[in-house]
Structure 1
Amino acid sequence: MGYVSFVRRIRALLSIQNQLARECLAELLAVFVLILITLGGAAQMITSSGTKGDIVTSSLAGALAVMVAIHTAGGVSGAHLNPAFSLSMSLLGQLPWWKFPIFVAVQTFGSFVAAAAVYALYYDAIWSYSNGTLTVSGPRETASIFATYPSEHLSLPNGFLDQVLGTAVLIVGILAITDTRNRAVPRGLEPLTVALLVLAIEVSMGFNCGSPMNPARDFGPRLFTLAAGWGTEVFSRGSSWWWVPVVAPLVGAALGTGLYQLFVAFHHPEEEEEEEDSGRARRQTKH
């Protein structure tokens, strides 16, 4: 049996034809890649005490991770990567509502597994930096490698507003970037453009709480830190902050979706009108 024939047989055995299963597998891998790189950037910055990375490199890691993740699953699942974006797609009728909880579960699981991989990758560095104690607060805390926590100055209402606005801007930007009836980017450049959008948000709105804007990105790794030994403080720190990056991005997604429809999408000419205008323009050109 030749190599090509062997590969074909293996592919035939492993190939999955069910559309939902294919979407879930692609989404799982894409989220894993996204969170692995994002948390890896944070781990490098924190465990090296800033000598091998800073807030800029961490932000770049998160933004470029989005680009890689979109390329990974964009043609299969649409690379939602984020329950907030999945909610936006459901509100617009582009994702069936029955798929929404499935996508959220897959995204959260992918984030959990990626957090475990980052912990394994940086295991020695984390224990060395923390002096053998996994803490959620204090000068040697390492919990913020995995989940977001509010700055000392931030109140829950202000943090909620931060995440609503940040996610709304994210959704408005993505809808604009992919709107073919607006000034959409050239086909194939969507991943890079969305990555630049994420970077812009992170470097302008990251001070309060790190701009999670993704319930799965925050909740999955937070669950991992609870299981891995950081304790229940991962849910109680910051006046029980944990629910803000879970709920607020969903509110922001609904807000951003509504704003783009009300201010832009609803006002696009009807397709019939566009065709008539195009036909009229062609006739005028001929004459």
Structure 2
Amino acid sequence: MKDSQGTVEQALARKAQQRNGAMAWVRNEVVRVGLAETLSTSVMMVFGLGSVAQVVTGTGAFGEYLSINLGFGIGVAMGVHVAGKVSGAHMNAAVSFTMCVFGRLKWKMLPLYVTAQFLGSFLAAGTVYSLYYDAIHHYSGGNLTVSGPKATAGIFATYPAPYLSVYAGFLDQVVGTSMLLLCLMALSDRRNQPAPIGSEPLAAGLLVLLIGISLGSNSGYAINPTRDLAPRVFSALAGWGPEVFKAGHAWWWVPVVAPLVGGVVGALIYRVFVEMHHPSVHKRARAYESEPEGEPLDKLEKPGPPEVCV
């Protein structure tokens, strides 16, 4: 009697678990990745754009340029915590495109990543605009402008410095994104000196912070097509108008195209200078056998694609 009762209870428990699992879990990989990438991008962008809004509308009372670098850097770290083990938390179309070029992401997944990143950035722009609506209109006197002493369009998208030509700006974005992908490749290279397991979000955030404080003054270091384009579209719809696409000699396309070029260039540089010259697994295994204090064999296996990118 007890056995039959126990069997019934176990069956009921399994059914309840299945029902709860069906309600709580999305098993479709595309949906899981899309949701995670959207959320991680939105989290990163809320912190990043929020830091810009606070500095601009506060006229220096609530932070300076370094505050923006810290906002984006720490925002990236939080975004990686949100989705690092689900989607890889690319949060950047240049990263996703580069991963496809180097075979670390399937090309059929690229539209999903780009769409999720665009949506996450757009939602973040709307969130920041809602939070700082009163501050923006108070600061600008209700006149939403792209340039001038009370310009506020730069809260959402990047614009070149007055002295910067389009050609120099293109190079600026290529170099900045090259450094991003070059260092991300190094941080994920298990046969070199990768970020310690668990510290990847911090390392990615510090990398973005470093790029901001060293390569960010010319054009706002977008280094991310979806980060720049989606909030620019939002600002055009929210009242700044088509001028957001005309300003800076039609600057808008530079932070969209240049990072795609720069990402591939940076990853290629790392591969040519470092990754291609790693000793093979067999050679390292023989070295281990001849060295009493060699590296454990379980560390000699070739690593797969990096789990965390930004």
Normalising by the smaller structure, the TM-score range is over 0.9
User: How large is the Cα RMSD of the aligned pairs?
Assistant: 1.9
3-state secondary structure, aligned to 1:211: coil
Contact 2:191 2:278 in 1 (8 A): yes
Secondary structure at the aligned position of 1:207 is classed as coil
Distance (whole Å) between structure 1 residues aligned to residue 155 and residue 134 of structure 2? 14
Structure 2 CA distance for partners of 1:11 and 1:57, relative to 1, 3 Å: farther
- 1:18 equivalent in structure 2: 28
1:201 matched to 2:215? The reply is: no
Structure 2 vs 1, CA of residues 196 and 284 (structure 1 numbering), >3 Å: closer, same or farther?
Answer: closer
2 CA distance for matches of 1:168 and 1:283? 37
**Which structure has the greater CA radius of gyration?**
2
- How far is 1:11 from its partner? 5.6
Pair 1:259 & 2:272 matched: no
What does residue 54 of structure 1 align with? 64
Identify the residue that residue 177 of structure 1 maps to in structure 2.
187
Amino acid of the structure 1 residue aligned with 2:181: I
Alignment of 1:65 with 2:63, yes or no, is no
| Bigger Cα displacement from structure 2, 140-149 vs 270-279 | 270-279
Q: Kindly provide the amino acid, as one letter, of the partner of residue 30 in structure 1.
A: S
- The answer for the alignment partner of 1:141 in structure 2 is 151
Of 275-284 and 152-161, deviating more is 275-284
Which residue, 128, 142, 161 being the options, matches 1:151? 161
1:29 and 1:9 mapped to 2: Cα distance? 26
* Bigger Cα displacement from structure 2, 269-278 vs 107-116: 269-278
Aligned to 1:189: 199
The 3-state SS of whatever aligns with 2:291 is: helix
State which drifts further: 60-69 or 12-21. Answer: 12-21
Distance 1:40 1:23 in 2: 25
Flag structure 1 segments of 5+ consecutive residues without an equivalent. Answer: 1-5
User: How far off its partner does 1:37 sit?
Assistant: 0.4
- Cα-to-partner distance string for 1:221-265 (whole Å, 9 max, x where unaligned): 000001111010000000000000000000001101110110000
1:50 positional shift? 1.0
Paired AA for residue 124 in structure 1: D
**Aligned position for 1:225:** 235
8 Å Cα contact 2:176/2:223 also seen in 1: yes
Give the SS at the match of 2:292.
Answer: helix
- In 2, the alpha carbon distance for the partners of 1:284 and 1:151 equals 53
Length-normalised TM-score, structure 1: 0.94
Q: Which moved more, 1:155-164 or 1:271-280?
A: 271-280
* Aligned ranges 1:89-128 → 2 under 5 Å: 89-128=99-138
Q: Relative to structure 2, which stretch is displaced further, 17-26 or 38-47?
A: 17-26
Q: Which moved more, 1:238-247 or 1:11-20?
A: 11-20
Count of residue pairs the alignment pairs up: 281
Write the distance in 1 (CA, Å) between the matches of 2:215 and 2:85: 30
The answer on whether the counterparts of 2:42 and 2:123 sit within 8 Å (CA) in structure 1 is yes
* 1:243 maps onto 2:257 in alignment: no
Structure 2 length-normalised TM? 0.87
2:292 pairs with one of 268, 282, 287: 282
Letter in 2 for 1:45: V
The Cα shift of 1:33 comes to: 0.2
Runs of 4+ in 1 over 3 A off after TM superposition: 6-12, 282-285
Cα deviation for residue 12 of structure 1 reads 3.2
Deviation of 1:8 after TM superposition, in Å, equals 9.0
User: Deviation of residue 279 (structure 1)?
Assistant: 2.1
Q: Is the 8 A contact 2:157 2:231 kept in 1?
A: yes
**Which amino acid letter does the alignment assign opposite residue 106 of structure 2?**
P
Range moving further from structure 2, 128-137 or 8-17: 8-17
Whether the aligned pair in 1 keeps the contact of 2:288 and 2:294 (CA below 8 Å) is: no
The residue aligned with 1:3 is none
Aligned to 2:302: none
Contact kept in structure 1, 2:173 and 2:223, CA below 8 Å: yes
Change (3 A) 1:244 1:180: same
In structure 1, C-alpha distance between the alignment counterparts of 2:21 and 2:149, rounded to whole Å? 50
Amino acid at match of 1:194: A
The answer on whether the counterparts of 2:91 and 2:117 sit within 8 Å (CA) in structure 1 is yes
Distance between the aligned counterparts of 1:254 and 1:284, measured in 2?
Answer: 35
Show the counterpart of 1:83: 93
The answer to which of 14-23 and 58-67 deviates more is: 14-23
Post-superposition shift, 1:282? 3.4
Residue identity matched to 2:116 = V
